[in-house]
Chain A
Amino acid sequence: MSPTAAHASLLAAGAVPHFPPAVRSDAAAGALAADLARTDAAAEARAAVPPLAAAAITVRYGRRTAVDAVSLALSEGTVYALLGRNGAGKSSLVRCLLGQQRPAAGRALLFGRDAWRHRASLMAQVGVVPEQPDAPPGATARRLARFCRPLYPHWDDAAFEGRLRRFGVPTDLPFGRLSRGQQGHVALALALAARPRLLILDDPTLGLDAVARRAFFEELIDELADRGTTVLIATHDLAAIERIADRAGILAGGRLVLDEDLEGLKQRCRRIWLADAAAAPATALDGFAPLARVTGDWGVETIVAAYDEERFRAFQDSAAGAGARVGSLDLEEIFIALTGAGADPLESAGAGGPR
């Protein structure tokens, strides 16, 4: 990348103040060198600032707390899956992160700046796919692109048209006459055409059929391959996102009950079968932090949150007659174990209710 190009990209990112190129021509070589040294420092400083962070965000609706002191931070290039049951607070949190809603307490920070106070300037660097793609029903995809273009400094028309072609969405049909899947594809194409540094997707595949969903994730994967964009995706599509996300957060009853790399999560969350549970003490698996237990004819299966191979082998040696075996869980099983009826703070909050 030429110094000028490097400067231009930093400029666009808001890292250095803008001044006309003429000032930097030959006579100002010394000034340019000084400027580049400064942009290097700015680039380093920028790398350390998370593209997205929540600092103890709380959202209340009347007396109900929808989001309860949620803190998280995404490092550059992370794909973060925000999971939670309906009503867990995902959409409220996402609205705060987009600067659309002011938290009752705490702050949403995009590139280190307050999302609520700097929404207008920050949104030029953020691609958004809302839960319900919303556009004037009479506008064609091409007209929507024309409308968005002047708002984004890096707008890429060719990429927009290319994506719609791959999705098979007609550019000359009014938005209101497109299918739900096509509307979702238009929303993603608009979000990516802005060449954003950060992509925020709120349940983007809701209501999409399997083919449309697959196409959606393929475009997202291409975007990651080409640009390494940082992504926050709120989703219920656990099977798809567990192959793509680096890290997951689970909201339950407004609280972030989990915020962890998927690799580690899958190492520690496991199922342990005991062919003959009677041969082991009832508390034998307590050290593995059991979450749920199912008893069947074939024995007892326990979902544990703190599996450890060495400890498990010691347990096998000590209770050889129990016939203990270990298996793995997919993200959906982990999610259910962590947020299912027994684990849901919303439901257990009804004091005295049957558990």
Chain B
Amino acid sequence: MKAAFPIDPSDPRPIWRQIEENVRHLVASGALRPSTSLPSVRELARGLAVNPATVAKAYQRLTEAGVLAVRRGDGTYVASAPPALSAAQLHERLHAEALRYASLAATLGATVQQATAALESAWRAFDADRGAAAKTAVPPGDPA
């Protein structure tokens, strides 16, 4: 589990956000398929050596966003369908995240060309990931 959820303590993002974004990425790239079970809060907290409340916060946000679903007494799963967004909602979400990325890129001293190139190369790497994930059948419960 550890390799799938790398946590960097010197990352200025709070740990719960790092977990949240890692899970989002794993789900979006297909590495974590719908209905795959996630480790329990306790298990993941132990694996990452972080406070269980931190993991619980990430899971709760992902559940509220429709990425994960909780089955009573049966733990947390990847939701069966991605949350459906209207075009307006999609634009709003993308714009908000893009604003954050642009602001980060600017503070690092990047040009708009560099930032765009990085985004495109990330998109290609992500597509490749997704292709690879689609080819190798991942048994449920084993996102590695």
Contact = CB atoms under 8 A, between A and B. Distances in A.
Tell me whether A and B are bound partners. Answer: yes
A74 B29 CA distance: 41
B7 interface: yes
Interface string B34-72: 000000011001101111110000000000000000000
Contacts of B14: 263, 266
Interface stretch (A85-93, A239-247, A291-299): A239-247
13 contacts: A218-B46, A221-B42, A221-B46, A221-B50, A224-B52, A243-B9, A243-B49, A266-B14, A270-B12, A313-B103, A325-B108, A326-B107, A328-B12
Contacts of B103: 309, 313
Interface string B88-109: 0000000000000001001111
B10 interface: yes
B74 interface: no
A244 B42 contact: no
A199 to B, nearest CB: 13
A309 B12 CA distance: 12
A222 B12 contact: no
B51 A221 contact: yes
A326 B104 CA distance: 10
Contacts of A225: 41-42, 45-46, 52
B15 interface: yes
Contacts of A242: 9
A4 B56 CA distance: 30
B52 A221 contact: yes
B53 A224 contact: yes
A326 B15 contact: no
A100 B10 CA distance: 37
Interface residues of B, number: 22
A324 B109 CA distance: 7
Given A243-B15, A245-B51, A325-B108, A222 B9 contact: no
A329 interface: yes
Interface residues of A, number: 35
A77 B51 CA distance: 11
B108 A326 contact: yes
A331 interface: yes
A313 B110 CA distance: 12
Contacts of B48: 243
Interface of B: 7, 9-12, 14-15, 41-42, 45-46, 48-53, 103, 106-109
Q: Is the interface of A mostly helix, strand, loop or mixed?
A: helix
Contacts of A328: 10-12
Contacts of B46: 218, 221-222, 225
B51 A246 contact: yes
A222 B11 CA distance: 25
Contact of A244 (B41, B50, B109): B50
Contacts of A217: 49
B49 A240 contact: yes
Q: Which of A79, A244, A270, A329 has its CB near the most chain B CB atoms (within 10 A)?
A: A244
B97 to A, nearest CB: 16
Given A267-B12, A270-B12, A329-B10, A221 B107 contact: no
Contact of B50 (A243, A313, A325, A326): A243
A330 B108 contact: no
Given A242-B9, A244-B49, A222 B109 contact: no
A217 B27 CA distance: 29
Contacts of A65: none
Contacts of A244: 49-51
A246 B56 CA distance: 14
A325 B109 contact: yes
Interface in A223-266: 224-226, 228, 239-240, 242-246, 263, 266
Contacts of A325: 107-109
Contacts of A313: 103, 106-107
Contact of A330 (B9, B42, B106): B9
